[in-house]
Structure 1
Amino acid sequence: MGIIQAICISEVRGVQKHAIPEADLTPEWGIVGDAHGGNWHRQVSLLGLEKIEAFRAKGADVAYGAFGENLVVDGFDFRTLPVGTLLAVGDVLLQMTQIGKECHNHCAIYKAVGDCIMPREGVFAKVLHGGHIKVGDEMKLIPRTEPLPWQAAVITLSDKGARGEREDKSGPAIVQRLEAEGYEVVEQILLADDAAALKTTLTRLADQRQLDLILTTGGTGFGPRDVTPEATMAVATRLAPGIAEAIRAASLAITPRAMLSRAVSVIRGKTLIVNLPGSPKAVCESMDVFLPQMPHALGLLRGEVRDCAR
């Protein structure tokens, strides 16, 4: 159990948040009146009081809201909680959706003292059930009555697609198939064939969003801009070559050009990352190969499955 020590909002983006005594929360926005709300997964940001006090102990005089946090809570080390954790404050129910964040433009605190704790210690949540909260309210962990649905992201790699010169058909085909199988596709992304951008995106999705599955499409051939396998391998913590090998083996029965695929399959943390071909037809054929085995594989990564015996 924790206690809300501060509720902070900013009515305009780019302005430091300030403390207010109470607030209303809605699933459609987050904290009513906060400019950073919206229909997305980062509606509410949370930070533990202990982290702020440790920062203050270094000599930094920071007010609540200085790190961009919406809720300051005493009693929780949010960083240790997994994505999907449910938090209740009265009638309000929050679900954690992200751990930490990228810091693209350093905030005023970072510029003043050279550090900011929000990117590494803060977490984000979406509002599942709205209501009214105030400073001093209790926050409780709520046990999940059923497992979090398998969560996935789809990334299309295409220079022409990123420039708007070609319609992405493979990405939507993957999304449609995943959703038909009961997956929650939380992000669909279109990137140019750029290794650095792909590595950054894969790392964010695996580490901060803690997704179960990431599927990429495109960039796996012999072309000089086909860098998807190299970028994928660069973020791997473990290899899972059997999936890519099975896709190639099955594809060879359809076309001998399957031997030219350099696609890989790897694990980062608890996230499985699989490279798929660039064409919609090949994508669907590839998913036929490995998708039936995914519940077992992803259950192993989550720690929900222990026995691999046949």
Structure 2
Amino acid sequence: MGTVRAVCLSAERGTAKHSVGTAEFVAQHGLRGDAHAGTWHRQVSLLSRGKVEEFRRRGAQAEDGAFGENLLVDGIDFSSLPVGTRFRCGSVELELTQVGKECHRHCAVFARLGDCIMPREGVFARVIRGGTVSAGDELTAELPAPGYRVGIITASDTGARGEREDASGQAVREIAEAAGYAVVSRALLPDDRPLLEAELKRLCDGGIADLVLTTGGTGFSPRDCMPEATLAVAERAVPGIPEAMRRESADVTKRAMLSRAAAAIRGRTLIVNLPGSTKAVRECLGFIIGDLRHGLDILTGRDADCGVTRG
């Protein structure tokens, strides 16, 4: 358990934040009025106060918020926690999505202090449930459940603009968690291929997720590009999974033949494209979710012999 020592905001990215005492956290957005809020995975930044004190003992003048942190907390070493850790503070719930980040030496923080500990010691989170947080509030950390980790990506222009609820992404989450998977990341992005490729690479290359389930962007619309993004980052294709979904879905609707969904492997992570409608997501994921675990056992090395059935 930790104690929030400062709640900080800034109007521009790459600049120091200033302590405001109390701030409103908005679900799937971030802190109201903060430059880093938005529909992405780094909505809130957290930093351990002990790390700042170590920096200050070296003679540096670093006030609260100096490193761009939204929450400065006593009693928790954030850099030691895994992605997927949940933080709770009153009604507010956060999910850790990234540990550290690339250091931009041209940013205002580095220019003023000559160093920045946020890239080494800070973590980032998204807001699961909103509410207010004030200095002096208690913050608790809950480690993710053991098992396979799932990252969810929803591709939707209207959803990314806030004009449509991400019901399909929520359906993926409910099915995955009911099957015993730990959802460690969830992103809502526009139908933009470079953004989708970057998020896929982050989840795979950062060792964040064992399975990435995407929803949306698999149709004939000129903006639909999720299969292209998936295959662009793929090291090995897995055609059998989308073939199975299309085959089973064809018993429900002949329009299943119009799905361009793909599946692929990058490193030790399996990526599977799902449709964009909530109904289709539930059907297609329901067809395959029971058999994905065996594939992940082989991919991650937990079961090296696929020819042996274990009790």
Q: Does TM, normalized by the shorter one, top 0.5?
A: yes
Q: Partner of 1:3 in structure 2?
A: none
CA deviation profile, 1:177-208 (whole Å, cap 9, x unmatched): 11111222122222211111111211222223
8 Å Cα contact 1:161/1:168 also seen in 2: yes
Which deviates more, 203-212 or 101-110?
101-110
**Equivalent residue letter for 1:178:** A
Q: Is structure 2 residue 242 aligned with structure 1 residue 238? A: no
Q: Partner of 1:5 in structure 2?
A: none
For structure 1, which runs of at least 5 residues remain unmatched after alignment? 1-8, 18-35, 46-61, 71-77, 86-95, 131-143
Change (3 A) 1:12 1:287: closer
**Equivalent residue letter for 1:177:** I
Alignment equivalent of 1:283, drawn from 281, 284, 290: 281
CA RMSD, Structure 1 to Structure 2 (Å)? 4.7
Q: Partner of 1:101 in structure 2?
A: 101
Aligned partner of residue 150 in structure 2, secondary structure: strand
Aligned equivalents of 1:41, 1:211: Cα separation in 2: 20
**Equivalent residue letter for 1:252:** A
Change (3 A) 1:149 1:245: same
Aligned partner of residue 198 in structure 1, secondary structure: helix
Aligned partner of residue 217 in structure 2, secondary structure: coil
Aligned equivalents of 1:168, 1:84: Cα separation in 2: 20
8 Å Cα contact 1:265/1:275 also seen in 2: yes
8 Å Cα contact 1:267/1:273 also seen in 2: yes
Alignment equivalent of 1:253, drawn from 248, 251, 254: 251
Q: Partner of 2:168 in structure 1?
A: 170
Which deviates more, 102-111 or 278-287?
102-111
Aligned equivalents of 2:45, 2:306: Cα separation in 1: 36
8 Å Cα contact 1:110/1:116 also seen in 2: yes
Q: Partner of 1:265 in structure 2?
A: 263
8 Å Cα contact 1:170/1:280 also seen in 2: yes
CA deviation profile, 1:28-62 (whole Å, cap 9, x unmatched): xxxxxxxx9xxx997458xxxxxxxxxxxxxxxx9
8 Å Cα contact 2:184/2:208 also seen in 1: no
Q: TM-score, normalised by structure 2?
A: 0.59
Change (3 A) 1:308 1:115: farther
Aligned partner of residue 305 in structure 1, secondary structure: coil
8 Å Cα contact 1:101/1:208 also seen in 2: no
Return the offset for 1:302: 2.5
8 Å Cα contact 1:42/1:124 also seen in 2: yes
Alignment equivalent of 1:229, drawn from 221, 224, 227: 227
8 Å Cα contact 1:155/1:191 also seen in 2: yes
* Structure 1 residue ranges, 4+ long, deviating more than 4 angstroms after superposition: 9-17, 40-45, 66-70, 81-85, 96-100, 102-106, 108-112, 114-119, 121-130
Q: Is structure 2 residue 205 aligned with structure 1 residue 207? A: yes
Aligned equivalents of 1:104, 1:41: Cα separation in 2: 18
**Equivalent residue letter for 2:298:** L
Q: TM-score, normalised by structure 1?
A: 0.60
Change (3 A) 1:105 1:213: farther
8 Å Cα contact 1:42/1:97 also seen in 2: no
Aligned equivalents of 1:84, 1:108: Cα separation in 2: 30
Aligned equivalents of 2:145, 2:169: Cα separation in 1: 26
**Equivalent residue letter for 1:168:** D
Q: Partner of 1:298 in structure 2?
A: 296
